[in-house]
Chains A and B, each alone.
Chain A
Amino acid sequence: MPLSKDEVRHVAMLARIGLEPGDEEFYADQLSGILQHIDRLQQLDTEDIPPTAQVVEVESRLREDDPRPCLSQEEALANAPAAVDGFFRVPSIQEET
């Protein structure tokens, strides 16, 4: 089923991807084409089939809770586009009331 522009706007907001002029039509068209192929999955009866969440057998392994060295604050911040006083700097999270 084709995606509407409203759905594209909703998904873009969920994915936190900004939309520029022309993007809505582009995604609606492209994603609809891919979903049309994907819709063939509905032909299969999977009522009694369990989903595969983990493809190889997992052995649960626990390790000792020994302290190990980790990144220093300086290393952790080294790639930050903006840092201040040992913190990551971000734009305001809440509007002033």
Chain B
Amino acid sequence: MTDDLTSLTMNEATRLLRLGSLSSADLVTAHVERIERLDPRVKAYLRFTPELWEKQAEEADRRIRQGDAGPMAGIPIAVKDVLCVRGVETTAGSKILRGFRPPYTGTAVGRLFDAGAVMLGVTNCDEFAMGSSTENSGYFPTRNPWDLERVPGGSSGGSAAAVAAGEAMIALGTDTGGSIRQPAALCGVVGMKPTYGRVSRYGLIAFASSLDQIGPFARSVDDAALTLSLMAGYDPLDATSSARPGMEVLNNYAAGVKGMRLGVPREYYDVKGIEPGVKAAIDAALFILQKAGAEIVDVSLPHTDYGLAAYYIIAPAECSSNLARFDGVRYGLSEVDAPNITEQYMRVRRKGFGIEVRRRVMLGTYALSSGYYDAYYLKAQKVRTLIKRDFDEAFQKCDAIVSATSPTVAFPIGSKTQDPLSMYLCDVLTLGANLAGLPGISVPCGTADALPVGLQVVGPQWGENVVLRVARAYEEASEIRAEVADVA
């Protein structure tokens, strides 16, 4: 019975909650029991929030009885360790923020709380969301629930693993270059990154501000769509949030793909390093979409080969600026006994930041430094324009773009940690959407070598409904559902 409850989708659980045949308290208990059993091995969570789940589940049950419950009433969720929740230790997976308890709750999480969600805990991630495997966490690596010797992807690996292992029904992540979609693919769940500006970043610990977006993990497209719609929409506390109504992400999204034109970029289809098993799964998915009535068209994104290079200037440059605030003065790790303040900064940042964060701060600082700005940062921002134009042109010929989410399935822990470039290449199919500000989703599309493969759908700016429409039609036609891993 317990495991039955943890394998429900949000949609199914909500029905049972409204019928009165299930209480949020029982749903939460089932999840907590499963977490106690599995998480010592999966390690999806960094910390738990019993004081919140008790209060929120009780409140949800009361409001369901009263008949004035919100759309996510009683649903257990997990929150990535970069999203501030008032009073809950939030560390961005970094030792430099150990002990930090935000004095406020960020908008995206706050909106889900207002909708009745129940928070189970804080999920592990690569430090400051920099990484593709969750091995860069300052605490410990998270394991892939489908094979504990492999990574869950990253940076939102804890959130993806929690949803895949039945340790949460919904989880929140952030996506700067693929950090929601890639772990969703590697863990066999649904993960969505919205259009830049769709979801307020107020209360998000920033990594690269021109790229970061918050989005959901779920075990169905409907669940992801509902969660996104509740977080989306203008927030006066984030000047980059759009005035467009959040609920428009749901417009007509259940209409099916009949008559839609789906573009397959040849540079993505034959991307260097794509595994044959991944390619076969994508071929099968394209066939299913075609049978469901979509027209598959050939498109080109000619600057794909330059995306990674542009991204690894822009993201580190922005992170070097954003992370300047970690100085040991206002929060986190400190060295107050240093002889002077410069020495304090140097010590705190050497000790508090892990290798990947220091590497990127150094790279970004170099790219922005006097004499190199034009050659690196300005050049990268111009190439970004070329990449955006590639997408604009492709969308003249198609309604959405489909490809693999990741060129590979989940890889063994430790296999890419010595070579940063090989790790960066994990994001080669996802980071274009960040550079161009586009919405994208990853949905499960079968397996290769018994490991999950993800199908990515990318749409034009503000076309979340288009992306969801393709993803939902695929989910329905393929009959492939995000399953809960047994965790051997």
Contact = CB atoms under 8 A, between A and B. Distances in A.
A95 to B, nearest CB: 7
A81 B331 CA distance: 6
B472 interface: no
B306 A15 contact: no
Contacts of B341: 90-93
Contact of A49 (B337, B338, B349, B385): B385
A69 B195 CA distance: 31
Interface string B432-454: 00011100000000000000000
A54 B320 CA distance: 18
A34 B312 contact: yes
A9 to B, nearest CB: 11
B21 interface: no
A17 B96 CA distance: 13
A2 to B, nearest CB: 12
Interface stretch (B124-132, B137-145, B281-289, B354-362): B354-362
B380 interface: yes
A81 B366 contact: no
Interface string A30-61: 11011101111110101001111111101101
A56 B392 CA distance: 12
A78 B242 CA distance: 32
B337 A17 contact: no
Nearest to A55: B437
B461 A81 contact: no
B396 interface: no
B210 A55 contact: yes
Contacts of B436: 55
B363 interface: yes
A15 B310 CA distance: 21
Contact of B344 (A12, A59, A79, A91): A91
Given A7-B366, A81-B336, A82-B334, A71 B342 contact: no
B338 A91 contact: yes
B312 A38 contact: yes
A20 interface: yes
A67 interface: no
A58 to B, nearest CB: 8
Interface in B331-354: 331-347, 349-351, 353
B471 to A, nearest CB: 22
Interface of A: prevailing SS: loop
Interface in A61-97: 61, 63, 71, 75-76, 78-82, 88-93, 95
A46 B375 CA distance: 11
Interface of B: prevailing SS: helix
A42 to B, nearest CB: 7
Interface in B81-121: 99-101, 103-104
A41 B379 contact: yes
Contacts of B64: none
A42 B349 contact: no
Contacts of B380: 41
Contact of B363 (A19, A34, A82): A34
A11 B328 CA distance: 20
A49 to B, nearest CB: 4
Interface-central residue, B303, B339, B347, B385, by most chain A CB under 10 Å: B385
B343 to A, nearest CB: 7
Contacts of B365: 11, 14-15
B297 interface: no
A56 B196 CA distance: 7
A34 B362 CA distance: 12
A50 B385 contact: yes
Interface in A4-34: 7-8, 10-12, 14-20, 27, 30-31, 33-34
B381 A56 contact: no
B378 A14 contact: no
B178 to A, nearest CB: 16
A-B pairs, top 6 by smallest CB distance, nearest first, are A81-B334, A51-B381, A55-B437, A18-B350, A18-B346, A79-B331
20 contacts: A3-B366, A11-B366, A11-B369, A16-B327, A16-B349, A33-B420, A34-B421, A38-B309, A39-B309, A41-B379, A46-B379, A56-B195, A56-B242, A59-B243, A79-B100, A79-B330, A81-B334, A81-B336, A90-B341, A91-B337
